[in-house]
Amino acid sequence: MRRLVLFIPLAIFLVLAVFFMRGLSLNPMERASTMIGQPLPEFSLKRLDAPHQVVTRDDLLGQVFLLNVWGSWCPSCYDEHEYIVAAAKAGVPVIGLNYKDTPEKAHEYLRKMGNPYQMNLQEPEGMRALAFDLGVYGAPETFLVDREGTIRYHLTGVVTETLLNETLLPEVRRWQKH
């Protein structure tokens, strides 16, 4: 009997371990994606290729598009770039949000890597506009916005081949049918 009592600490630990195991499979990033289901925030930003032209939220509505936050300073953006190109080739409009960058470096990046974007918005350093309201805390991040301007999907991190083919493109198709 006394021998059994000695197993109590082990039993408690095992129960805890099961909960931890379960906790790991719960997505810890879920809390960050509070933007899903929210309307795209209002903004007015300059275009990268035409700085005299100002774009607002209403200009983008009416189509299902991807909003991709990038910067020439961000190493991971180079890695995901080919899949952004692939998305554009698959006919998905991609709006770029050039984040914390300078126009010169951004143009250089697009010249070297190719420009898959329908248009690029500029949000330079220190400006608190769209990326700030979207709660962007790093680049790259990608948002899927539907025709009415509601955010339907939010990815923090790099777009990979799997993510593009198995999540992003099907999601885009799904919302295009809506």
Partner 1 sequence: MHIIELPELGHFALILALCMACVQMVMPLLGTLVRQPVWLAYAQPAAWGQFLFLTFSFACLTASFMLDDFSVAYIANNSNSALPWYYKFSAVWGSHEGSLLLWIWILSGWTFAVSLTRGLPAEILARVLAVMGAISVGFALFILATSDPFERILPRIPTDGADLNPLLQDFGLIVHPPLLYMGYVGFAVAFAFAITALWSGRLDAAWARWSRPWTTVAWIFLTLGITLGSWWAYYELGWGGWWFWDPVENASLMPWLVGTALMHSLAVTEKRGVFRSWTLLLAIFSFSLSLLGTFLVRSGVLNSVHAFAADPGRGFFILVLLGITIGGSLLLYALRVPKVNVKVRYALFSREVFLLVNNIILVVAMLTVLLGTIYPLLLDALGHGKISVGPPYFNALIAPQMILLAFFMGLGPLTEWKQARWQRLRQRLWWAAGATLVFGLVVLPFIYDGQWHFWVAMGMTVTLWIVLTSLRDLYEAARGRRGLAGVTASRWGMILGHLGLAMTAFGVTMVANYAEERDIRMALQEPVEVHGLNFTLTSLEHVEGPNYTAERAVVSVSGPDGAQISVLHPEKRLYAVRRMPMTEAAIDWGFTRDIYVAMGEPLADGAWAMRVHYKPFVRWLWFGGGFMALGGLLAACDKRYRSRVKRSEEAAAVTEVAV
Which residues contribute to the site for partner 1 (CB under 8 A)?
Answer: 2-3, 6-7, 9-10, 13-14, 16-17, 19-26, 28-29, 31, 73, 75, 78, 100, 125-126
Output the smallest distance, CB 44 to partner 1, in A. 20
**How far apart are the C-alpha atoms of 177 and 102, rounded to whole Å?**
37
Output the smallest distance, CB 32 to partner 1, in A. 10
Residues 6+ apart with CB under 8 A from 78: 113
Q: Which stretch of DSSP H or E encloses residue 142? A: strand 141-145
What does the block give as tokens for 153?
């999907």
**How far apart are the C-alpha atoms of 131 and 148, rounded to whole Å?**
19
Q: Between 19 and 52, name the residue whose CB sits nearer to partner 1.
A: 19
Q: Between 37 and 126, name the residue whose CB sits nearer to partner 1.
A: 126
Residue type, 54: V
Q: Between 26 and 104, name the residue whose CB sits nearer to partner 1.
A: 26
Output the smallest distance, CB 57 to partner 1, in A. 23
Select from 38, 94, 35, 33 the least CA-distant residue to 66. Answer: 94
Q: Between 73 and 174, name the residue whose CB sits nearer to partner 1.
A: 73
Output the smallest distance, CB 59 to partner 1, in A. 26
